[in-house]
């Protein structure tokens, strides 16, 4: 591997999914994993297997399906996170070992504030624990990554000691996280340069950077780290992650590409996939992307439309430093209409990266025809919304069988809902609410008795045009569920669930989205047997 090659370590499925409400189902995680492999990431951090048996199973599925490419070609490393405990490391290993290239990633904080208040360990105890647990991880797996958590606020001299110990114990990648997004680019670059200069035995290891965006500096810090000699960047799609998020994959990759002569660095990323992956992750997590987000925002390439009409813009580069085509942005255009056949749909879906079997294609073709009756032009964005709505839903315990709503300024908004329960029995309930969505949700609640709090509710029109498909994402918090373990804070967080629905009728889409989130909540509550089983089957290839 050339010394100018930057390994892209994607942690959308671990640090990204850890952000409030970004919870994905096992099926969604698998689909994102497949997409990341197509995108060309070098390492996929697939989750934190010790969090729960479901999380372990989700990581294991990705290790099996994405970590082994039956058609040959490049296979990404599949990585699992573990705290520095035997239990965590064993679970991580259990989850990732089916992969062709497994990696265990373990971490222990090294900043004074974390050691004193969170770990309650002395420096000596931290060094000892790192030595012991990296040794143990290495006894299981040849590829071991160690992160000194909160390195950005750690004493650099202590970092050199801990990292040297980790190297002696067998660590092959040393990841330097700015956990709280506190450092400035010059500082962070200096930290990396110091580590490379002062850590005994570091030469054969890969140094990695992992930044957070609390001050809006994650991309700049990551690039400063790479310029200083780091050769792995830990990133997420759309920069999702806790608080202000992680470094955005698309920003780092496109900065390296756009300014290649300055950096002299390369990645294995197929940038044309970036827009598609951005949309996929946004749909599945319900974390919407603002219009003025770099690279993947709806306005990021706003000049495109005018370019061909405007005689004054003789040279595209006057206001454009990269082409929308280079990140696949311009592909989201009109493709199909009412007269398009099954074959045209199939080949368009293939080129979008969706490999559907015949049954799945039948389902999508029906939805497509139905939509084409209502809407003149079907775009890629519409197709992606249909796929997300139809195929990547969680196991459906309760199914929407019918909805009728009346609302407006004059009366009392009323919704009548008909649901099919897990035993196939139909239930009908009508409710009044403050609006049509509130009424529909109340009617659903009166059938599905499951305490929850709505955290977020967002509707987007998929495409321009008043007849667009409406996409709804909701996020609910289960009021009575056991909490989820956060690996870093070692604390329990409330469990939240995202739901997604698409329909030309936004009230119908809202009801679908709420049911999809409720179904995830019910699966997680364990009242309905093995979590996720059905969902995975529905998309197994």
Residue 433 to residue 428: CA distance in whole angstroms: 16
Burial of 203 (0-12, 13-18, 19+ CB in 10 A): exposed
Residues 363-382 that bind its own copies (CB under 8 A): 374-375
User: Is 166:133 a contact under the CB 8 Å cutoff?
Assistant: no
- The whole-angstrom separation of Cα 163 and Cα 127 is 9
Looking at residues 285 to 304 of the shown chain, list those that interact with its own copies (rule: CB under 8 A): 287-295, 297-303
Distance of alpha carbon 19 from alpha carbon 183, whole angstroms: 21
Q: Which range binds its own copies by CB under 8 A, 6-14, 92-100, 154-162, 504-512?
A: 504-512
- Which of the residues 156 through 215 are near its own copies (CB under 8 A)? 179-182, 184-185, 187, 213-215
Residues 94-123 touching its own copies, rule: CB under 8 A, are 113-114, 116-118
Q: Are 247 and 233 in contact (CB under 8 A)?
A: yes
The residues facing 146 across adjacent strands are 106, 174
Please choose, from the candidates 64, 51, 54, 101, the residue with its C-alpha nearest in 3D space to the C-alpha of residue 79. Answer: 101
DSSP state of 421: -
- Candidates 43, 211, 224, 484: give the one binding its own copies (CB under 8 A): 224
Minimum gap (Å) between residue 254 Cβ and its own copies: 6
CA distance linking residue 488 with residue 107, whole number of Å: 9
CB of residue 264 to its own copies, shortest distance in Å: 13
Part in contact with its own copies (CB under 8 A); list of ranges 53-61, 203-211, 312-320, 529-537? 312-320
Residue nearer to its own copies on the CB measure, 195 or 415: 415
- Minimum CB separation of residue 484 from its own copies in Å reads 12
Give the x-and-dash track for 448-467 against its own copies (CB under 8 A): -----xxxxxxxxx--xxxx
Among 270, 310, 362, 366, binds its own copies (CB under 8 A): 310
Which one, 358 or 464, has the nearer CB to its own copies? 464
What own/partner pairs with CB < 8 Å and gap ≥ 24 does 533-538 have?
533/395, 534/395, 534/396, 535/25, 535/26, 535/27, 535/393, 535/394, 535/395, 536/26, 536/27, 536/30, 536/61, 538/27, 538/391
- Shortest Å distance, C-beta 316 to its own copies: 9
Window 235 to 264, contacts with its own copies (CB under 8 A): 238-245, 248, 251, 254-255, 258-259, 262
Q: Is the CB of 121 or the CB of 361 nearer to its own copies?
A: 121
Angle at CA 396, nearest 5°, toward 395 and 402?
160
CB of 51 to its own copies, least distance (A): 16
Residue 343 in contact with its own copies, rule: CB under 8 A: no
């Amino acid at each position: 591997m050339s010394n100018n090659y930057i390994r892209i370590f994607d942690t959308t499925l671990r640090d990204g999914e850890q952000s409030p409400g970004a919870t994905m189902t096992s099926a969604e995680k698998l689909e994102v994993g497949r997409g990341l492999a197509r995108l060309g990431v070098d390492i996929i951090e697939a989750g934190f297997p010790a969090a729960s048996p479901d999380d372990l199973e989700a990581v294991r599925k990705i290790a099996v399906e994405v970590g082994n490419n039956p058609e040959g070609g490049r296979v990404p490393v599949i990585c699992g996170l573990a705290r520095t405990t035997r239990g965590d490391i064993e679970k991580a290993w259990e989850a990732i070992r089916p992969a062709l290239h497994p990696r265990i990633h373990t971490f222990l904080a090294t900043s004074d504030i974390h050691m004193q208040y969170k770990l309650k360990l002395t420096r000596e105890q931290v060094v000892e624990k790192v030595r012991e647990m990296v040794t143990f991880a290495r006894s299981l797996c040849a590829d071991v990554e160690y992160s000194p958590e909160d390195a950005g606020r750690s004493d650099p001299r202590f970092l050199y000691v801990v990292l040297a110990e980790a190297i002696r114990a067998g660590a092959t990648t040393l990841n330097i996280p700015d956990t709280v997004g506190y450092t400035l680019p010059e500082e962070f670059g200096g930290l990396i340069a110091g580590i490379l200069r002062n850590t005994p035995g570091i030469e054969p290891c890969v140094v990695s950077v992992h930044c957070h965006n609390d001050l809006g500096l994650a991309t700049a810090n990551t690039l400063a780290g790479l310029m200083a000699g780091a050769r792995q960047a830990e990133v997420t799609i759309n920069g999702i992650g806790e608080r202000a998020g992680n470094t955005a994959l698309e920003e780092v990759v496109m900065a390296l590409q756009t300014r290649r002569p300055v950096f002299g660095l390369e990645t294995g990323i197929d940038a044309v996939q970036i827009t598609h992956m951005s949309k996929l992750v946004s749909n599945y997590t319900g974390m919407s992307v603002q219009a003025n987000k770099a690279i993947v925002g709806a306005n990021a390439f706003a000049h495109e439309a005018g370019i061909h009409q405007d005689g004054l813009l003789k040279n595209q580069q006057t206001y454009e430093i990269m082409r929308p085509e280079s990140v696949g942005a311009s592909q989201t255009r009109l493709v199909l209409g009412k007269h398009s056949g099954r074959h045209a749909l199939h080949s368009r879906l293939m080129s979008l990266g969706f490999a559907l079997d015949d049954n799945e294609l039948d389902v999508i073709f029906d939805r497509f025809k139905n939509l084409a009756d209502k809407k003149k032009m079907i775009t890629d964005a519409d197709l992606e919304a249909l796929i997300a709505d139809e195929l990547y839903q969680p196991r459906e315990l309760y199914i929407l069988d019918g909805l009728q709503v009346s609302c407006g300024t004059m009366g009392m908004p009323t919704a009548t809902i008909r649901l099919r329960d897990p035993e196939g029995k139909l239930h009908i309930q009508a409710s009044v609410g403050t609006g049509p969505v509130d009424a529909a949700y109340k009617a659903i609640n009166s059938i599905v008795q499951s305490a929850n709090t709505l955290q977020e509710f967002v509707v987007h029109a998929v495409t321009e045009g008043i007849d667009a498909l409406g996409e709804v994402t909701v996020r609910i918090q289960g009021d009575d569920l056991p909490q989820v373990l956060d690996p870093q804070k070692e604390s329990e967080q409330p469990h939240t669930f995202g739901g997604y629905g698409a329909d030309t009728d936004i009230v119908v889409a809202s009801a679908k989205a709420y049911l999809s989130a409720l179904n995830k909540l019910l699966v997680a509550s364990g009242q309905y047997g093995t979590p996720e089983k059905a969902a995975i089957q529905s998309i197994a290839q």
